[in-house]
Amino acid sequence: MRITVDAERCVGSGMCVLTVGEVFDQCQDDGKVIVLRPEPPAETQDAVREAVDLCPAAAIALSADRRP
């Protein structure tokens, strides 16, 4: 699993950070999403999928390949 985010779309809700803090954070300067683990460990992947679904701005995408 590989995570890509669209910071342009991100509205800084923090839902992703709340859901999987090991994988997502928010930039201190602009509050937008940062991906800490673009290839999230297996044990976080269900939570990552949940974060994708919860993101209010549809700013997080998943792909199977390393190069989407």
Contact partner, 6, from other proteins, ligand SF4, none, Cβ < 5-8 Å per class: none
Rounded Cα distance, 28 and 61, in Å: 22
Smallest separation, CB 12 to other proteins (Å):
3
Query: By CB under 8 A, is residue 54 in contact with other proteins?
Result: yes
Number of Cβ atoms within 10 Å of the Cβ of 41: 11
Whether residue 62 contacts residue 2, with contact meaning beta carbons closer than 8 Å, is answered with yes
Number of Cβ atoms within 10 Å of the Cβ of 20: 20
Choose, by CB under 6 A, the member of 3, 20, 23, 33 that binds ligand SF4.
Answer: 33
Contact partner, 53, from ligand SF4, other proteins, none, Cβ < 5-8 Å per class: other proteins
